[in-house]
Structures are given as C-alpha cells and as structure tokens.
Amino acid sequence: MATSSSAQLSKMVKKQYMDLPQGDNVQVMYIWIDGTGEGLRCKSRTLDSEPKCIEDLPEWNFDGSSTYQSEGSNSDMYLIPSAMFRDPFRKDPNKLVLCEVLKYNRKPAETNHRKTCNKVMEKVREQVPWFGMEQEYTLLGTDGHPFGWPSNGFPGPQGPYYCGVGADKAYGRDIVEAHYRACPYAGVQICGTNAEVMPAQWEFQVGPCEGISMGDHLWVARFILHRVCEDFGVVASLDPKPISGNWNGAGCHTNFSTKEMREEGGLKCIEESIEKLGKRHEYHIRAYDPKGGLDNARRLTGRHETSNIHEFSAGVANRGASIRIPRSVGQEKKGYFEDRRPSANCDPYAVTEALIRTCLLDEEGDEPVEY
C-alpha cells in the first residue's frame, strides 16, 4: 500500500526538537475551510503570550487565489478567529484556532456558512438545540486504494467488519485510537468511535453540542483526523461513495433535539418537525453536501442502509429511512431524531442551519429566509 514519503521520516529525530523549551512564546495554528467547501487549510503564527479567550487572537490574512477563494488580482482574504482549542500536536500552551473567512470587502466568503448559521442559532437560543453528528470516513493509501485491501482485488464481502475485532476485520485501528485520544485533549466533544460496515471505513461521533458549537467541534475533529493521518502517511477520505459497487457509502448522520423534544411528551414535537422536513426534502438535499446533492446522489440509492435521494421517508428504528426515530425514543415518547441524509463531506454549519430553519423557524419553500 502506498504511504506518503513524509511518514517515513524519523519521528524520533523530530521529537528532540519538539522537546525544546519555547519560552513565553505560543504557536497558534489558524485553520479555515477553503473554496471547495470541504477542504481545510492551515498556517501558524507566534504570539508573545498564551491567549486565554478568542478576543486575545488577532485577525490574520492569506492568499485566497491559492485556495479557490479569490482572483490573483485581489487575493487577500481575512481570517477571523472563531473557536479556540488546545493543540494536541504541539501540546500546551499552543493552540488550534478555527477561523471564519471574509473577503476583501469584509463580507463572508462563499464557503463561510458559519456566519449565517450563527445568526440562525442565536434566534433559537432559548429552545436549546442540541446536535450530535456521526462522521464516517474511509482510510486510503496515497494512491487512493483503501487501506488494508488486497492490491489486486477485494476483501471478503461486508458482514464481519462493523465493530469488528481482529487483524482480518479492523483495518487501521492505530489511527483511530490516536485520533480518539487527540480530540479530547484538544477539547473536542468527541463521544465515541467504531469500525464501520465497509473494511477500512470508520466512524466517530461528536456531541451533544449546542448551537454553533456543533460545526466548530466537527470541523476541528476533521482537522485533527487529517493531521493524524498525515503522521501515519495515509489519507482520510470523506467521499460519500469512495468505492462503487456493493459497498456501503459514508454519511454524517445528524441527531437533533430541542429542550421541548427532550421533555415529557416531546415525541409530538419530534413528529411535527419530521412533517415539516418532509415538505422541504429538496432544500435539505441541496444543503447536505458541498455540491448541492450531486455527491449524495452516488450514496442515497435506497441500498446499503440509505434512503432514496428522491423520496422522503421516516420510521422508528428504520436505517433505510430519511429520518430515523430511535426505538427508545418511540417507547419513552421523548428524546431526539436522526437525519440520515447528510453526506460524509457535508458542511455541519449548513446541515444544522437547515434543520433549525425548517424545524424551529418554520421556513418553507426552496430558498432560505434572510435575517
């Protein structure tokens, strides 16, 4: 299997430099979403002291013409620090900072969905919206071949790999464990992980997170995953259907609830929200992958534990439905529901914003309302 040349470099040699004292200086890595809507970029700067809050972090800029975000003749873009985390790679007191991107005129870049998501979340703050997102991904070699798969063939059919144990069932657990340890160190609200149905496919869950923090925590969890994979010399793909044929795709199932849904009798509110979602299916499909539904069309076929992209459905404990109500929720008459439509490469800001607009702000039609 092909791994990157960087992974072959001696980590022990690097360690002797990483162990050097850094004095009072702090290294801060600024992270942002590029013009593809799914790629992440980063660069670092030195601060004189440890930032204690987001206000302590200065704005910065970058060349947007090299990230698919501007033309070379007017390429400066602004980085606005939005969420701060501990750095699990350089360790304390160093930081990771997730940023919003603004254009030269201080308006949000086209792939900056955090700005409008935050506005929408503020409008429903009193309803205490909670989210939990299940991020599936596939480990690949640098040649695009699934990690651990035979070089000239396929592994055995799906069946033994989901939550599997053993060298012939779990491919790449070292990467998963490293990521699972790095996330809580950083302050990311990761709450679980498991091997998925297709070999070399894994999932981690982030949440429950309230409001805008869902998108912040999932994006930083993704960044950490990509950096961990970089150290191991492999690639984490969020493609919703990385291998064609009789293999499961990759989604980002999104669990959602409000204070009312979590209280006694909340099932009624859940059912009302599902009814609203059914009337706005096409709007949500467009919001649930960065290509307006084209990526998800390869995954949402009605097979491999998915619903059909052209049809809306809901059911209790039904993994072939658009919306699944967990069996425990059906029995207790309160809790949450799971939207199974978002793709693995979705923007969590766009997904959570769409859910709030439809379920809590009662928006209708194909276009979002401006606030």
| 72 shares its domain with 97 | yes
| 200 shares its domain with 288 | yes
pLDDT at 197 over 90: yes
Closest alpha carbon to 208 in 226, 185, 192: 192
Work out the average pLDDT over 217-224. Answer: 98
Confidence class for position 75, pLDDT limits 50, 70, 90: confident
Q: Please check whether residue 327 lies inside any domain of the structure.
A: yes
| Mean pLDDT estimate for the chain | 96
Q: pLDDT (tens digit, 9 = 90+) per residue, 122-169?
A: 999 999 999 999 999 999 999 999 999 998 889 999 999 999 999 999
Rounded CA-CA distance 99/339 in Å is 27
Q: Are 11 and 5 in contact (CB under 8 A)?
A: no
Q: Is the peptide bond before 93 cis (omega within 30 degrees of 0)?
A: yes
CB-side exposure of 195: number of CA atoms within 13 Å? 22
Residue at which a domain ends, from 110, 138, 165 = 110
The pLDDT value given to residue 38: 96
pLDDT at 312 over 80: yes
Q: pLDDT (tens digit, 9 = 90+) per residue, 330-369?
A: 999 999 999 999 999 999 999 999 999 999 999 998 889 9
Q: Under 8 Å CB-to-CB from 333, ≥6 apart: which residues?
A: 264, 265, 266, 267
pLDDT at 68 over 90: yes
pLDDT at 49 over 90: yes
Q: Which domain holds residue 91?
A: 23-110
The pLDDT value given to residue 310: 95
Pick the range with the lowest mean pLDDT from 32-46, 64-78, 180-194, 197-211.
64-78
Q: Are 335 and 266 in contact (CB under 8 A)?
A: yes
| 60 shares its domain with 159 | no
Q: pLDDT (tens digit, 9 = 90+) per residue, 234-259?
A: 999 999 999 999 999 999 999 999 99
Confidence class for position 72, pLDDT limits 50, 70, 90: confident
The pLDDT value given to residue 240: 97
| 71 shares its domain with 186 | no
Q: Please check whether residue 318 lies inside any domain of the structure.
A: yes
The pLDDT value given to residue 37: 97
CATH of the domain at 95: 3.10.20.70
The pLDDT value given to residue 160: 96
Cα–Cα distance list, 173 to 4, 18, 197 (Å): 18, 25, 14
Rounded CA-CA distance 33/108 in Å is 12
Q: Please check whether residue 63 lies inside any domain of the structure.
A: yes
CATH of the domain at 151: 3.30.590.10
| 47 shares its domain with 190 | no
pTM of the predicted structure, to 2 decimals:
0.97
The pLDDT value given to residue 320: 87
